[in-house]
Chains A and B, each alone.
Chain A
Amino acid sequence: MDQIGFLEPRPAVLARRREIVADLLDLLPEGCLVHEPRELVPFETDAFVSYRRVPLAVALPETTAQVAAVLKYCHRYGVPVVPRGAGTSLSGGAIPQEDAVVVGLSKMARILEVDFANRTATVQAGVTNLAISDAVTADGYFYAPDPSSQLACTIGGNIGMNSGGAHCLKYGVTTNNLLGVKLVLIDGTIVELGGKALDAGGLDLLGVVCGGEGQLGIVTEATVRLIARPEGARPVLFGFDSSEEAGACVADVIGSGIIPVAIEFMDKPAIEICEAFAGAGYPMDVEALLIVEVEGSEAEMDAMLASIIEIARRHGVKVVKESQSATEAALIWKGRKSAFGATGRIADYICMDGTVPLGQLPHVLRGTAEIVEKYGLRVANVFHAGDGNMHPLILFNANDPEDAARAEAAGNDILKLCVDAGGCLTGEHGVGIEKRDLMRHQYADVDLAQQMAVRAAFDPQWLLNPSKVFPLEGRPAA
């Protein structure tokens, strides 16, 4: 199995390294440029640690104007730029390359305005996802998309990847909750797209920037939608004897017209991992677990739960356990949201992110198990079942190159299975470097060519995050 390739570093850029560093030092305040070789190493990867490239320099600007100055400079001299939020990408979206300047938004972490009457928050791109909800929770609001890494990941990164999360079943993903951005284009132009008004006045550029994986520009500020907190929320645990039954139950719940806020799935290995970290009281004697969260008034939650329990009984549910307190509810979610990291206690892993139509869940779960077995590996499944967004965690030993290669191959097979089942390669983690070479499995050349043409309309020289998303061959010439 070949390693995924990066673009060859541009020799002209590497040759000018010292001048570039000196020029960037002039453009940025003290302490805002990392350039000592040893200090660059920690920026060589993100949460997709299988791939690593040490960047040329790391700029940590404090203002939009500084971001613009750096981009303008890089544009002028043909220096690739890789944007970085908190570096939590699971698809390698923030992995640099040797000839690239990383532009990290970590110093731009201020909440600029909270406007309750219009239910919006305007924040700098380096603000973490959770910090937005934290800032408004006392007033009864929250920001809905909740990727599991929400504690650390930034809103800028969320926009880049159009991140989802457990509660997106009801509230939608980032793009459905994003109202506006301040965007710096590669030539240093600063544009504002959207704002507190809904819908676009012209082409929906905001819609394509969201999920643009840092290839269309660098978002420095965002205006997002706030939602009033529901009266109550209750996560309920449903334990099943088989993954297939749990999967079929999910499809039936949604098919019946009930839309809970979240339906999360864990198989036995995942339950064990999460319980070990969080002590959430997950049932341990079941093969698969659903966390179903309903919200609203007591009456509404009771009514919804009754219907869901009835459906679950038809699928032979073994355990039904309601959370008894806010603390218990918080633990249930803490366990779920820490699933990936907690897996690190027992093994290295790569995390897949394919989405499939709900009816295909049992089929794809079965197929995943077969694929992993074929490669002689283990898998833990923990994912957003309500919208068919699967996260098989393939466990392996990173210190064994052959094991790592097998894990990557198994991952590719699983993603192809998802696409063939009518789904897609990635539901919320983004293509990044990880799934780039699988894009042709999902899209025809003409489909990809159209996407690349749009990308080139924003960045004709392909300087922004250039090794990602699109296969390296067949790109339109700059």
Chain B
Amino acid sequence: MQTNFTPEQLADPHVATSEKILRKCVHCGFCTATCPTYVTLGNELDSPRGRIYLIKDMLENGRPADAEVVTHIDRCLSCLSCTTTCPSGVDYMHLVDHARMHIEATYRRPFWNRLTRGVLAAVLPYPGRFRLALKAAALGRPFAGLLKRFKPLEPFGAMLDLAPRSLPKAAGEAGPGTYPAAGPRRGRVAILTGCAQPVLKPEINAATIRLLTRLGVEVVAPAGEVCCGSLVHHMGREAQALEAARRNVDVWLGEIEKDGLDAIIITASGCGTTIKDYGFMLRLDPAYAEKAARVSALAKDITEYLTTLDLPQQEARGLTVAYHSACSMQHGQKITIAPKVLLKKAGFAVRDPAEGHLCCGSAGTYNILQPEISGKLKARKVRNIEATKPDIIATGNIGCITQIATGTAIPILHTVELIDWAYGGTKPAVLS
């Protein structure tokens, strides 16, 4: 597509990157078809092509963001379904990242919106604060309906809906430290502890560590690690995101230099997408560019890593699993086959729900900030999943687990919990 930028504008490296991305788009419109918000709202402005055009217009004219543009960019789930679809290779992810930074820098959001986003950015990445907030939520739940009646407070109502009824004990979390391999060591990996996931579902990392160590892999959960930065990154709070990225890069490089790492294992695909992008995010920071690229190259989703361990075929268990591929898994990291192959090998009958490319509406903080669209996507996702009549739903991202669990009675687990069980681990509690 033709672009109109001045040489001065192109001197800004972010603009230069975006210009290159825009030039690749041929405006064919394929992306509209697989975009969850276009499919839901039927307005091109809420499709990748429409957003690309809005961003292009804003950047070319060097305009501050305005309410209209912000509305449509905010509605983007960053599910990246469009990038899977795009034949021209348009790097929508980095374009919309740039747009979000531009919005954050040039647009003053209305008070309630600012407040909501501020609260989320100050709470979610910090497990301690998050745990506290969830406890408070238990008290606040009776007011959810009331909150939702007042539009600006709707996100708080949504938060209360999403908060789990009961919280696992903090003791269940796998704390920092080294978990040695059982038997001869065949590898050494670091595991991302994460922020929200260990509070909501500590059993995921616990299962991962059990499984890996049983398979002869030493697992280290390094101290000093922070949230990967994805939550604030998607809000356009780039400084905060880069700060998190730098700290994590330092922590992991320390481990690499100490005892070497075969991989950095991530059990939440949303985090995986971001960590794999550290190299790009820090490309303009001479002190970190190379280090970040090294970290990104080592980052692996747990299912990616397990595939390299060549697990044996287990006997059929007579259980049907609907595999829900998180967007960050299938579109962000392009991991599509590995989880299903693992589940089949583990003895489960695996079903692919229809419209698997569509987001469940979780998308980080999306289900809080855009409850209406998120709710519609959740209903559609649950309908498609339930149509496969599964015994269990498996997925690789905590966001999807939380989201889908509020829409169905079918137990939903992380893929690794099922793999752990199939290869000698404990049976997940919800299945007993």
Contacts and interface: CB of A to CB of B under 8 A. Distances in A.
A touching B, CB within 8 angstroms: yes
Interface residues of A, number: 42
Contact of A151 (B30, B39, B68): B30
A360 interface: no
Contacts of B69: 38
A289 to B, nearest CB: 18
Given A39-B45, A41-B53, A41-B57, A87 B29 contact: yes
User: For chain A, what secondary structure do more than half of its interface residues adopt (helix, strand, loop), or is it mixed?
Assistant: loop
Those 4 A-B pairs whose CB atoms lie nearest each other, nearest first: A341-B87, A344-B88, A107-B42, A338-B87
Given A151-B85, A345-B89, A42 B45 contact: yes
A465 interface: no
A277 B85 CA distance: 11
A45 interface: yes
Given A106-B38, A149-B28, A348 B1 contact: yes
Contacts of A121: none
B2 interface: yes
B28 A47 contact: yes
Interface string B21-55: 00111111111111000110111110001100110
Contacts of B86: 341
B307 interface: no
A86 B41 CA distance: 13
Contacts of A28: none
Interface string B1-32: 11100000000000000000001111111111
Given A88-B28, A106-B42, A344-B25, 4 more contacts: A34-B43, A46-B27, A106-B44, A109-B42
B419 to A, nearest CB: 25
User: For chain B, what secondary structure do more than half of its interface residues adopt (helix, strand, loop), or is it mixed?
Assistant: helix
Nearest to A130: B33
Given A88-B28, A341-B88, A398-B1, A151 B34 contact: yes
Nearest to A49: B27
A195 to B, nearest CB: 26
B32 A86 contact: yes
Interface string B61-77: 00000101100100000
Interface in A148-178: 149, 151-153
A126 interface: yes
Contacts of B87: 277, 338-342, 344
Nearest to B54: A42
Contacts of A23: none
A238 interface: no
Interface in A81-136: 86-88, 104, 106-109, 126, 128, 130
Contacts of A3: none
Interface string A67-86: 00000000000000000001
A138 to B, nearest CB: 9
A399 interface: yes
Interface residues of B, number: 37
Contacts of B34: 151
Contact of B2 (A49, A60, A88, A109): A49
Contact of A344 (B26, B45, B66): B26
Interface string A8-43: 000000000000000000000001001010110111
Interface in A252-279: 277
A348 B2 contact: yes
A43 B86 CA distance: 19
A434 to B, nearest CB: 14
A31 B29 CA distance: 22
A296 B30 CA distance: 30
B27 A152 contact: no
Of B24, B25, B42, B90, most buried by chain A (CB within 10 Å of CB) is B42
Interface string B178-219: 000000000000000000000000000000000000000000
A88 B28 CA distance: 6
A349 interface: yes
A368 interface: no
B29 A42 contact: no
Contacts of A130: 33
A399 B1 CA distance: 8
B43 A60 contact: yes
Interface string B86-106: 111110000000000000000
A152 B87 CA distance: 13
A277 B89 contact: yes
Contacts of A341: 26, 28, 30, 86-88
A334 B39 CA distance: 22
A343 interface: yes
Given A38-B68, A42-B50, A277-B89, A151 B33 contact: yes
